[in-house]
Amino acid sequence: MTPSDRSSAPLTGNSTLGGQQPRKHYGITSSISLAFPREIDHIYTQKLTEAMKPFGVFEGEDELNHRLAVLGKLNSFVKEWIAEISESKNLPTSAVVNVGGKIFTFGSYRLGVHTKGADIDALCVAPRHVERTDFFSSFFEKLKRLDEIKDLRAVEDAFVPVIKFKFDGIEIDLLFARLALQSIPDNLDLRGDSLLRNLDIRCIRSLNGCRVTDEILYLVPNKENFRLTLRAIKLWAKRRGIYSNMLGFLGGVSWAMLVARTCQLYPNAVAATLVHKFFLVFSKWEWPNPVLLKQPEDSNLNLPVWDPRVNPSDRYHLMPIITPAYPQQNSTYNVSTSTRTIMSEEFKNGLTVTDEILQGKADWSKLFEPPNFFQKYKHYIVLTASASTEENHLEWIGLVESKIRVLVGNLERNEYITLAHVNPQSFPGSKENHNENEFVSMWFIGISFKKLDNSDCVNIDLTYDIQSFTDTVYRQASNINMLKDGMTIEATHVKKKQLHQYLPPELVQRKKKVKKSLLRCSLDGSQLDSSRDTDIGTPFSSPTPVSKPCQPASTPEDR
């Protein structure tokens, strides 16, 4: 471990134990336990590492070196471009030579938990005379001329504007921030709040990813233990179908903060212990109490921050996990009552399984077994998105997926529905159900209906819930001029026994044990992790009248 990985990072206070010396602590409270690992804890940690290897969560030396080489080239390329721009704006030669510029990374790559084939989130930091328009014009054109660059596209009007490309086979999402500095030195630290003064809001948003990632690393007691634990928790969350910020579960930065808080509470523990303690802490957490890694600080820059005392809307957040860098934000504002219920159940299940593992009654592989989503409910909504070309389809499913939580919200507000559980994974449409020339994706939402007395027989009509969702999607597509011929969404209510019409038999059949080869389908490295917190998934939905069950399910199987 390097000196910068010092295992006693930031200390935020002291507490005294019965007349003993004040002890160091991390985060906003004292630790729960300072116990050091036993030999058996190291053995369990080694077994955990072995259990994760088949899922492609560890990158080989060659791939790691290739990433470093690509980032080095990109960094030199940025410096060259900034020098050229500076010259074109008539800066003196002495200033041009020292103008600098730098590429910073953030997300899973910066945290050190990226998987095989994952993309890299990066930020181009430029001095004050380089404009955002320069980045999206001259820099974009310069990239275009490079042979190693493929799939180049700019998304200038996004909430956080980005240029996306493949550089020598590695996917990169590159953001831009212009600082109020004459030059950008190589040793620049982005953690200082004063850097945000007088910045454009898009630059502040672009800097946020790096600042949050760096702050998380600074606030954990031991980076290596944090990294291995986070790899395990991210793999578990993906396997259990609860990794998706977009769909109302948690994304990568939120999982990182929960793991970081666990590390603060057990600063000397190794990964096997930390994974178990993670489930212990968050299966008992009293939401909506927020998870904080440090006391929020006010930098007097008048930027909006998460504060339920001041902002009434913040009081309605169900599962707040607050980013540690100013301006503090809640990274989980998409969480709904259903997704929180599902995640709470998964935390409890994780605790049960890790209890068994640490008692020697089960192997770590049990923690990573996927749930049998298609056996869990008696009723499902099948959401189908179709388009006539592959390019249109990719664009269309991106929009539809970003709106699925609108449908979940509509369903949750229905008085007869107790839970709407969306599976983050999308599935291709079956050839039998669709035109050969169509490109189709499907999602599935499991529905639990309220248990009614035997005397009650109710027809529950979901047409309005679905129609208002599809109207929202079509309206937004129309507003941004995306809607093209052939783009459709449909939503259909089906019972569990009808799922075989949409899915391959191995997904639908009740199986106690699924073969390992099936367990790992869709677990190539690129799908397993995307440092962007986007998630496996594809979209669909439309307004098909949905007639409803008389006497909704009341068996345990229906939740």
Residue 243: active-site member: yes
Catalytic: 119?
yes
Active site residue 94: no
Which residue of the set 41, 121, 134, 214 is catalytic? 121
Per the annotation, does 409 bind a ligand? Answer: no
The active-site residue out of 31, 102, 134, 173 is 173
Q: How far apart are CA 382 and CA 488, in angstroms?
A: 14
Is 120 marked within a binding site? yes
Catalytic residue among 86, 108, 183, 530: 108
Distance CA 145, CA 20 (A): 66
The DSSP string of 507-539 is HHS--SS--HHHHTTT-SHHHH--TTS--S---
Residue 471 labelled as part of a binding site: no
Rounded-to-integer distance, Cα 302 and Cα 281, Å: 34
The answer to whether 214 is annotated as binding is no
119 belongs to an annotated ligand binding site: yes
**Residue 253 annotated as part of some ligand binding site:** yes
Residue 378, annotated as binding a ligand:
no
CA dist., res. 419 & res. 339, Å (int): 9
Phi, psi of 462 (to 5 degrees): -95, 10
Compute the C-alpha angle 232/336/531, nearest 5°: 35
What is the enclosing helix (H) or strand (E) of 63? Answer: helix 61-88
Q: Tell whether residue 234 is among the known ligand binding residues.
A: yes
DSSP string, 164-222: EEEETTEEEEEEEEE-SSS-B-TT--TT-GGGGTT--HHHHHHHHHHHHHHHHHHHSS-
Nearest to 444 by CA among 540, 531, 318, 554: 540
106 has binding-site annotation:
yes
Q: Select which of 119, 134, 465, 535 is catalytic.
A: 119
3-state SS record for 335-368? CCHHHHHHHHHHHHHHHHHHHHHHCCCCCHHHHH
CA atoms within 13 A on the CB side of 244: 27
Catalytic hit among 109, 134, 218, 234:
234
465 as an active site residue: the answer is no
Question: Do the annotations mark residue 107 as ligand-binding?
Answer: yes
Does 40 show up as a binding residue in the annotation?
Answer: no
Which residues are the active-site residues?
108, 119, 121, 173, 234, 243
Question: Per the annotation, where are the binding residues for ATP?
Answer: 106-108, 115, 119-121, 173, 234, 243, 252-253
Write out the binding residues.
Answer: 106-108, 115, 119-121, 173, 234, 243, 252-253
Binding positions for Mg(2+) are 119, 121, 173
